[in-house]
Amino acid sequence: MNVIDLFSGCGGLSLGFQQAGFHVALGIDNDAAALETFRRNHKDSVGASVDLFDAAAMDRIEELLEGQKVDVIVAGPPCQGFSLTGPRKFDDPRNKLYLRVFDAVRRFKPQGFVIENVRGMASLYGGQVKDEIIRRFTELGYNVVWKVVCAADYGVPQLRHRLIFVGIRRDLGTFEFPKAKLTPDHYIGCRDAIGDLPTRVDDLGAEMDSYQEAPFSDYQKLMRGNAVVLANHVGTKHTEHVKNVISMVPPGGNYKDLPPGVGDSRKFHVAWTRYHPDRPSNTIDTGHRNHFHYALNRVPTIREFARLQSFPDDFVFTGTKTQQNRQVGNAVPPLLGQAIAEQLSKYLKG
């Protein structure tokens, strides 16, 4: 089954579909660093930079496919335009990137599609944007369902909520979202996700290093897989002041738990957040340096963030540290993608 991934980033959703047995033919994005990571880790796929604003974008994608059929289209398009233009201006140029998903489905007529976005889109303008998306895909001949899902339900050690649309061709039925694999009292916590990795307190480490301890949880064993080299596990050098402030935050706490007058430089809802060892992390962002290790007085490394996103250890991120943080934070957790893909495969022909 062939998949094309629009707005692929580094390829988290693509990896999930690969883990479910699909072949990702194309990953399309305009972020050069993210595409380099995509190409490094998806060796049987083409990672291409295509200007989706260009009217000839679909022609270019068809050229890249070289005659391959498209069974599934997956996409995580930006939706900032909708918040500016409102539901009555759905065709506003600022929404063109989102509208390209319609163009791709109309052009390649896949058996199904998956669109991922922030959960706020479900309620934007009283749900009118969501309803318009459903209406348009329905007119193209698809049964469309949506749901706000939590990644932790599917084995990801992170409380990440995302809006997922799934459409399948009308003759194939109506998609039902997969049941949760874990209940909240059995979610994977941060210690079981990253507790086997080197501390990176006295030694910041290198881009390619080695493990120092054996895994002690099933999740750690899953993430290590066959990896023999520990990549992207480089620590951050903090000032003594910052380390001192972090040390005062209890597990699961934030700036509200600091003494009066301490940490006043950051006061917003995620400031000075320390992960809890026995709970999933908060949503991984793109590197704002406001989240801290559950036990160590430092921000997590790229590898720790990647583990919390469910990227296996043999998935290597390239580019600068800032670029790597953005790639990890923008990605769809692969285990969530895999759960959706496995369920979707039950409906597809071939």
Query: Would you tell me the crossing angle of helices 334-345 and 12-19 to the nearest 10 degrees?
Result: 50
CATH code for the structural domain at 2-182+333-345 = 3.40.50.150
Paired strand residues for 112: 72, 168
- Respond yes or no: is residue 79 known to be catalytic: yes
Supply 227's token pair: 């990896």
Provide the token pair at 39. Answer: 């190409």
Q: What is the pLDDT of residue 84?
A: 80
Task: Judge whether 231 and 210 are in contact, CB under 8 Å.
Answer: no
CA distance 304 to 306: 5
The predicted-structure confidence for 233-273, as pLDDT tens digits, reads as follows: 999 999 999 999 999 999 999 999 999 888 777 767 788 99
Q: How confident is the model at residue 230 (pLDDT cuts 50, 70, 90)?
A: very high
Residues 299-338: pLDDT tens digits?
A: 999 999 999 999 999 999 999 999 999 999 999 999 999 9
3-state secondary structure of 16: helix
Domain boundaries, the chain: 2-182+333-345
Residue 328 · residue 336 · CB < 8 Å: no
* % of the chain with per-residue pLDDT over 90: 86
Give the pTM.
0.96
Report yes or no: 175 and 112 within 8 Å, Cβ to Cβ. yes
Query: Among 73-82, 211-220, 287-296, which range has the highest average pLDDT?
Result: 211-220
